Amino acid sequence: MSSVLPFSTENEQIVSYNPATGEEIGRVPQASGESVRAAMERSRAAYSHWRQTSFDERRRLIMRARDVILSEVDEIARLISKESGKPLGEAISMEIAPVLDLMQYFARNAEKLLGPRKLKIGLYGLLGRSSKIVYQPLGVVGIIPAWNYPFSIPLGEAAMALMAGNAVVIKPSELTPFVGLKIGEIFERAGTPKDLVQIVTGAGEAGAALVDAAPDKIMFTGSVATGKKIAAAAAKNLTSVVLELGGKDPMVVFADANLHLAADAAIWGAFCNAGQSCSSVERLYIEESVAEKFTQMLVDRTKRLKQGLGTAEDTSIGAMSSERQLKLVDEHVEEFRRDGAKVLTGGKRNPKLDGLFYEPTVISNVRNDMRAMQEETFGPTLPVGTFQSEDEVVSLANDSEFGLTASVWTKDLKKGKRVAERIEAGSVTVNEVLYTHGIGQTPWGGFKNSGRGRTHGLEGLMELVQPQHIHINRLAILPNAWWMPYSPTAVETYRGFAKYFATGSVVQTARLLPQLWKRIKELR
């Protein structure tokens, strides 16, 4: 059974609100440092058993957790939508479905992906030695997610960590604690061993307490500022950290692209989750010759989108998750206006709706030297700039402190791949946008200030284990030439090692054999 913390500060509570209506969803305790440390202790005890389980046992747990989710997809989707504001459809298509897929993939494949790996060790192999890598779990993995994908991000990371043999403590965002608690409940109903998955609720301080409690790894998703704080705090215990941080992701559209498809993709890429995705299209560059026509296509499409309560099935744009985020978006749009950009549609809080709704906004005449083209907006805005050449657009795309994802649109796939490889970003898609976080098999993570390390894919799984090198000498009958005591014969042999053995060539090494034999006789 997984557990939710017994808190020592139950009078301090966090209130969770529905951002679309302002209604209170409920209250959760604010975990104290002491209770977070106690949770860590319990996790360590749970880990000592879990690390010994077979992959089969781990697989069964994750598949049972999937069954629990499948038995209440609509209920979970409604909770995600209510607590984050996102449309019900996105709660299912962008959170529940991808994480179910990730869970089955790692449940079925972790054993193969983490299987022992034989190493080629060159001439040492001829001396009867062999080496292999086995992957050991780390211990307790602390997961600190953001509020924008409150279900799929922590749950996906937890499922991978458990498959690798670790225990997990999750500190959900204070904006989405009930979705976090739901993850705990799912594992509990799936029959998870006691304390193997724990949820500690609370604000940033609870996250900081989790870092201070010295887990064996921290998987953090959030802003650059908090990421830096966490990296500094984690360094005190030498805790390694995966940082999934912000983005200012460019979409590059060449004139030869399928413009209808590119426009549809831009709308979804910029406005899904009300633009609150780390891999949202935050800047679009359109080739000048088709700029006017394409920008009009964007405006027409944007005007057709219905904004409203996320829980209504025909809503395309829901509420933003917090007043603070909405204000930041408004500030960026104001800055665009002040700097001479043109707001073509949207550009304000939706006056017809009471909650945290910002209208989907298309902006033209933007330049990279505008502040709002450099800082992450994280809202439903689509600023559109233009370019004339491939070199120019590559330098525009790379003119950013961030490098999470990017997309390139063209029918010329050779050009697409060429441009993709010149863009500094962790994932670049050609004629696709945003969605590869949903492919559990592919690595996720950023260049530059967008992060360190990876989640998902083999690379992400490797973050959750430590490689152990096992070296065996099958010919343990002779002493090694490099052992003590040293002598002039020994030193002459080492000269031969440097000159012949270290070439990696069997033929060269053969020249060393008489000297080697002399040395071994000396040692015997």
Please list the active-site residues: 244, 278
Q: In this complex, which beta carbon is closest to ligand NDP, that of residue 38 or of residue 262?
A: 38
The least distance separating ligand NDP from the CB of residue 427, rounded to whole angstroms, comes to: 10
Q: Judged by CB under 6 A, which stretch of 44-52, 160-168, 245-253, 290-298 contacts ligand NDP?
A: 245-253
Q: Judged by CB under 6 A, which stretch of 22-30, 205-213, 341-349, 463-471 contacts ligand NDP?
A: 205-213
Binding to ligand NDP (CB under 6 A) within 458-517 occurs at none
Binding track over 338-357 against ligand NDP, x by CB under 6 A: --------------------
- 397 three-state secondary structure: helix
The verdict on 80 binding ligand NDP (CB under 6 A) reads no
Binding-site member from 129, 194, 229, 422 for ligand NDP (CB under 6 A): 229
The verdict on 239 binding ligand NDP (CB under 6 A) reads no
With contacts defined by CB under 6 A, how many residues of the chain interact with ligand NDP? Answer: 31
Q: Judged by CB under 6 A, which stretch of 143-151, 191-199, 359-367, 490-498 contacts ligand NDP?
A: 143-151
The verdict on 32 binding ligand NDP (CB under 6 A) reads no
CA distance 387 to 291: 9
The verdict on 219 binding ligand NDP (CB under 6 A) reads no
Q: How many CB atoms lie within 10 A of CB 303?
A: 12
- 3-state SS record for 234-271: HHCCCCEEEEECCCCEEEEECCCCCHHHHHHHHHHHHH
Q: Judged by CB under 6 A, which stretch of 44-52, 216-224, 256-264, 382-390 contacts ligand NDP?
A: 216-224
The verdict on 221 binding ligand NDP (CB under 6 A) reads yes
The verdict on 226 binding ligand NDP (CB under 6 A) reads yes
Q: How many CB atoms lie within 10 A of CB 193?
A: 17
Q: How many CB atoms lie within 10 A of CB 206?
A: 25
CA distance 504 to 47: 43
Token pair 């000396």: residue: 522
The least distance separating ligand NDP from the CB of residue 419, rounded to whole angstroms, comes to: 22
CA distance 454 to 462: 9
The verdict on 178 binding ligand NDP (CB under 6 A) reads no
The verdict on 147 binding ligand NDP (CB under 6 A) reads yes
The verdict on 378 binding ligand NDP (CB under 6 A) reads yes
Task: With CA atoms as reference, report the closest residue to 334 among 302, 377, 395, 294.
Answer: 377
Q: In this complex, which beta carbon is closest to ligand NDP, that of residue 62 or of residue 175?
A: 175
Bridge partners, 142 (sequence order): 169, 218
CA distance 396 to 475: 60
Q: Judged by CB under 6 A, which stretch of 156-164, 220-228, 302-310, 342-350 contacts ligand NDP?
A: 220-228
The CA-based dihedral angle spanning residues 304, 320, 211, 29, taken in that order and rounded to the nearest 10 degrees: -140
Give buried/exposed letters for 351-368 (b at 16+ CB in 10 A, else e).
Answer: eebebbbbbbbbbbbbee
The verdict on 180 binding ligand NDP (CB under 6 A) reads no
- The H or E element containing residue 28 is strand 24-29
Q: How many CB atoms lie within 10 A of CB 495?
A: 12
Residue ranges that bind ligand NDP, judged by CB under 6 A: 144-149, 171, 173-175, 203-204, 207-208, 211, 221-223, 226, 229-230, 244-247, 278, 376, 378, 404, 446, 451
